Each structure stands twice: as structure tokens, then as C-alpha cells.
Chains A and B, each alone.
Chain A
């Protein structure tokens, strides 16, 4: 079956512009995650959605970052007024219904964001 897909694969923007990154999880996966990979910080958690529960936004680095998940499927990560330090690869992951005993996460190919 299809894996996690993300779009665009690359995004170059000017400082101060807003960007939207999209993630389509694996069909049937109820949990969706966003992570960020940057040179200085490695791979870090941003946000988590599970079903209809309130998302865990504790990893978002500033209030310029927001994310939503519509219909329990597709998710959009929005960065407002982009800064150069936002340049990174943004990775989306999904997993089957989360249980304590099993929660393997599968990652998409990422969106490489460059802020000039």
C-alpha cells in the first residue's frame, strides 16, 4: 500500500512569507506526527494528533507554527512569517491506533524548507 506522502518535496521562500506543508498519512492510521530535522538540532518532535483528541502541540518552537488535521486524515503544518532558522526538513509520520504495546511510526519523504 501507499506510504506517508508529503508535499511539496522542496520549498524555497523569502523571509517573512507564510508557508503550508501537507501530509497524507497511511490509510487507516489514526495517529499523525510532525517532526523537524535541522543541522543544529537533529530530529525533534513538533506536534501529535490522535483521532479526535486535542493535539499535543508541546514541540512547536513558536506561535508562528500551527497545524491542523482535517477529517482525521490529511494534516497541514503552517509557518507564518518565516525566519531563516525555520530552514529544515519537515517530516511527517503516522501510526496505527496507538496502544501501549505497539506504536510503530512510519515516515514520509519530508519537505525541505529553505528560507532566504
Chain B
């Protein structure tokens, strides 16, 4: 099946700093989602972005499908940005509904 790799595995930021999280995938995709898992375990949808660039407040994301990667940018980080960020994809093909998740990036923002 499709492989999803996220980097870095852990990220410690000072409040106000900017950061970039990366997601590499091993095959063509028709769906790519970024999630933030909050301390209660809820997966919050950040972006649905199989290609192109989107922005939502201090967060933005870019997916370059032809090169099989996506980037999530966090600007002016706040302590509430702490948590685990997951990238998940569905592969083109018969099973194009199963989300395959990366292992996540754990972000800690310090005041």
C-alpha cells in the first residue's frame, strides 16, 4: 500500500515562531488531508488539499502532487497550536477511499 512519511517527528517551538511540516507519499493520490489532533484525541480537519495551495488564518498548506509531497506551514505559532499533526492520503485506484496516515509530527509550542 501507499507509504506516508512525515517529518520531523517532533518539533519544539517558541511562541511566535514559524515552522514547516512535511509529508511525503509514495504513490499518486486523489485525496490529501491535514489534521490536528487535540489533547482530547479529536482529529480536527485543517486542510483538504490533494493539490495546490490553501490558507486558513495562520496556517497554510501546499501540495505538489507530481513530486509527491505536501507542506504545512504554521506562522506566528501559539501554545494552542500544540498537538500532533497528521497527514493522510488516499491512493488513486480501486480503494481510493481508505485514508493512510503518516506517523504524525508532535508540535510543542512554549510560551
CB-CB < 8 A to A100: which residues of B? 30, 96
- Is residue A112 contacting chain B, with contact meaning CB distance below 8 A? yes
Given A100-B30, A103-B90, A104-B48, CB of A109 within 8 Å of CB of B99: no
The residues of B that contact A59 with a CB separation of less than 8 Å are 98
- Interface residues of A toward B: which range? 20 to 34
B42 touches A48 (CB 8 A): no
Q: How far apart are the CA atoms of A56 and B90 in the complex, in Å?
A: 15
Complex: how many Å from CA A105 to CA B98?
Answer: 10
Q: Is A65 an interface residue (CB 8 A)?
A: no
Asked if residues B42 and A110 are in contact (CB atoms below 8 Å), the reply is yes
B residues in contact with A33, CB < 8 Å: 97-99
A89 at the interface (CB under 8 A from B): yes
Does A45 lie within 8 Å of B100, measured CB to CB? yes
CB nearest neighbor in B for A35: B99
In the complex, the answer to whether B95 meets A56 with C-beta atoms within 8 Å is yes
Flag if A103 contacts B31 (CB, 8 Å).
Answer: yes
Residues of B31-66 whose CB lies within 8 A of A = 31, 33, 35, 40-43, 45, 48
- Interface on A for B, CB 8 Å cutoff? 31, 33, 35, 37, 42-45, 48, 50, 56, 58-59, 89, 91, 93, 95, 98, 100-107, 109-110, 112
Q: Report which B residues bind A (CB closer than 8 A).
A: 30-31, 33, 35, 40-43, 45, 48, 86, 88, 90, 95-101, 103-104
